[in-house]
Amino acid sequence: MLRSCLSILVSENVKNELPVVIDLFSGCGGLAFGFKSAGYKILHGVEIMKAAINTASYNLYWRDGLDAKHHWGDITELNPELFKKDIGESGCIVIGGPPCQAYSQIGRAKLKSLGEDRKHTNDSRGFLFQDFLRFALELDARAIVMENVPEAVDYGGLNVPQHVCDILEENNYQACWTILNAADFGVPQVRERIFVFAVKKNVTTQTLNLPTPTHSSQDSKAVQGQLRRKKIFESKSFRIPNIADSNLPNWVTVRDAVSDLPSLFPTAKSKYHLYKPNIQLFYNSEASTDYQRLMRNWFGRGQKSVTGHGYRRTERDFPIFERMRPGDDYRDASIIAEEMLDEVCRAESVDRNLDVGIYENLRQSIVPPYDREKFHTKWKKMPPDKPAHTLVAHLSTDTYSHLHPWEPRGISVREAARLQSFPDGFLFQCNMGDAFKQIGNAVPPLLSKAIALAMRKNLLNYDE
């Protein structure tokens, strides 16, 4: 009888403890970092990009003096037994975002350009969700969170999030999927992503809680995810996300997010400096918004300076950026460049018909060589009083998609991190390209923390 009572007590204690986190396809650790900030212990992680492993390991373990590191490797070749022995009685929650390149429109177009045999449905990365599920099921996870791009609803006719929910429900989970906009959770960026939520049926007895928005749009314009709901509403496991109350604070803007960061390049005639990742620069001003204060004080102590504030040297285009207005794209930029070329030709008395060689050299040094109509979405000067548009991994190649709203340059690594809600103490000790790629691929920590808090309610069986 006593043994039976002790077993019940142990069982109840396990139920009241949060499971440890297994972080798959971790990238730089944005999803796990939000869970850590919500009180979960990060136990293990897997990532194939070595630079991202170092970033995740530092910010999830080493900065707190923990002797741990995410695993480097191809998940298709790894056995879940690798982690099983360390999980303990509280069980685990498996989180992660399988690669999205095969689903995204950008990824599809790139693969298609490489030939019919490279079309997106032939990309093996499109089925890595199967390895995510393999780990989750073999580790008998108490709960699961999986992230991906909205285009995953149609992968050659397969609705990936619904398919994942079907498999989980067959394995005794309560599961649902939804589309969340990071801007609704205090992130200064309109970024919509699919999330699958699942909890073992013997763990929770209630309808799954979804994250509660903390911010709302300042206008009534529908974003893409809201438009998609009309098409996917009939999907069996789809859940409409919690609606942001109009009385909540407005979405955080680019100005709210970055106006206190150190000035780098005030005019197109300024001298370029390449700041290495560990160089500390003092803030431009005192924190003036709640968001800036949060970014400086996330770890419980006020930051006095920031690192990782390097930006790209695009000398030909700095003068173009300077003349662009917030909201301008490449169509506007190319017209500006043509005007600049005409000004130089007049000033130097160059005739395009008579001085062909000189004219072509001038043109090459001033005007970007891209098609105005095909390329227009690749450049964008961010309006300062709106959230940024979605950051993507292509930032690792160039930052033309996110031009600074008042300085004539692309955004810096630290500015990209701010727009993703990585706090100023979150370090990126790697080269600029790797840092931009990690940030563009990440789940914003503020959104992740909201998800982690909702899952806490599901795991500990309490409602809103």
Q: Which residues are catalytic?
A: 100
Is-contact 257 282, C-beta < 8 A?
Answer: no
Instruction: State the residue for tokens 């033309």.
Output: 400
Does the CA dihedral 152-156-162-163 come out positive or negative? negative
- How is residue 233 written in tokens? 């509403």
Q: What is the spatial distance between Cα 196 and Cα 139, in angstroms, rounded to a whole number?
A: 18
- How is residue 327 written in tokens? 């909201």
Q: What is the spatial distance between Cα 2 and Cα 260, in angstroms, rounded to a whole number?
A: 62
- How is residue 418 written in tokens? 């701010």
Is-contact 292 256, C-beta < 8 A?
Answer: yes
Contacts of 371 (CB under 8 A, 6+ apart): none
The amino acid at 316: R
- Tabulate helix, strand, coil % of the chain (nearest 5): 40, 10, 45
Nearest to 90 by CA among 10, 5, 3: 10
Instruction: State the residue for tokens 């040297």.
Output: 313
What is the crossing angle of helices 30-37 and 50-60, to 10°?
Answer: 10
- How is residue 42 written in tokens? 């990060």
Contacts of 178 (CB under 8 A, 6+ apart): 194, 195, 197, 210, 238, 239, 240, 241
Angle CA 450–307–438, to nearest 5: 50
Kindly state the DSSP code that residue 64 receives in the 8-state scheme.
G
- How is residue 306 written in tokens? 């920031």
Nearest to 414 by CA among 397, 402, 396, 426: 426
Kindly state the DSSP code that residue 121 receives in the 8-state scheme.
G
Kindly state the DSSP code that residue 315 receives in the 8-state scheme.
G
Q: How far is CA 374 from CA 106, 369, 378, 397, 399, in A?
A: 14, 12, 9, 18, 18
Q: What are the backbone dihedrals phi and psi of residue 193, each rounded to the nearest 5 degrees, phi first?
A: -140, 150
